[in-house]
């Protein structure tokens, strides 16, 4: 059934098998939105522009989804709106499927880290995984009885590295890649997130 859900939706919602969803305490810090503004609002207008969000690729990935007044920027209220939306879904963890290619070919055996944006606090756990021969990976945070495979809703940075360390910094130490893990994320509902490394 889990497999079927993945097929149908591209994104697996915990609880889609009909079992009651459980809310896991991987919740963002209460002051997360204010911290984000504090960290990234370089011009001090109280809003985060696309340019300012270059330093927070996870949040930037959620710009379109969170920008309810459509001014091209995120306010603290808009970020709080997304955090509330994550909580309202009562989804504990969701699956992220990545397809990674380099020079157009599947990138096998690459280590992938999915790191929560630091302003979210310490409750969210980072995910990890390694690509298979097809360049596919479904990273997961550490699992336990009440924490199934996958990632809690949130804003995450994506870091990709290989054993010989030859992947450009824009894909790892200075990553420009991010994702908003949310059931209504327009990135995730489109299917696997495809990443091409030059
Ligand atoms: Ca600003
Ligand atoms: Ca806005």
Encode pLDDT of 135-158 as tens digits.
999 999 999 888 899 999 999 999
Distance 65 CA to ligand 2 centre (A): 10
pTM of the model: 0.87
Residues with CB under 5 A from ligand 2 (ion): 67, 69, 71, 73
Mean pLDDT of the chain, nearest integer: 89
Residue 53 confidence (pLDDT) above 90 = yes
Structure tokens given for 51? 């340019």
Alpha-carbon distance of 38 to 23, in angstroms, equals 29
Identify any residues that bridge with 197 across adjacent strands, giving them in sequence order: 102
Distance 82 CA to ligand 2 centre (A): 12
Distance 75 CA to ligand 2 centre (A): 6
Taken in order 8, 21, 182, 176, the sign of the CA dihedral is negative
Encode pLDDT of 85-113 as tens digits.
999 988 889 999 999 999 999 999 999 99
Closest-approaching ligand to the CA atom of 76: 2
Alpha-carbon distance of 182 to 65, in angstroms, equals 10
Query: Contact 28/80 with Cβ under 8 angstroms?
Result: no
Distance 136 CA to ligand 1 centre (A): 36
pLDDT at 25 (0 to 100): 67
């Amino acid at each position: 059934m889990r497999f079927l859900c993945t097929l149908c939706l591209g994104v697996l919602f915990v609880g889609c098998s009909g079992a009651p969803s459980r809310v896991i305490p991987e919740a963002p810090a209460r002051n997360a939105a204010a911290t984000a503004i504090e960290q990234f609002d370089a011009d001090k207008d109280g809003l985060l522009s696309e340019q300012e969000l270059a330093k927070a690729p996870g949040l930037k990935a959620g710009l379109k989804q969170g920008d309810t007044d459509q001014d091209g920027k995120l306010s603290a209220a808009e970020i709080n709106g997304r955090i509330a939306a994550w909580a309202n879904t009562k989804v504990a963890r969701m699956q992220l499927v990545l397809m990674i290619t380099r020079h157009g070919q599947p990138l096998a055996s690459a280590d992938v880290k999915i790191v929560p944006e630091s302003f979210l606090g310490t409750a969210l756990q980072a995910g990890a995984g390694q690509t298979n021969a097809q360049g596919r990976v479904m990273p997961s945070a550490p699992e336990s009885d009440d924490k199934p495979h996958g990632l809690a809703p949130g804003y995450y940075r994506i870091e990709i590295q290989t054993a010989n360390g030859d992947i450009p910094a824009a894909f790892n130490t200075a990553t420009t890649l991010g994702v908003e893990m949310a059931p209504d994320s327009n990135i995730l509902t489109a299917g696997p997130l495809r990443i091409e490394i030059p």
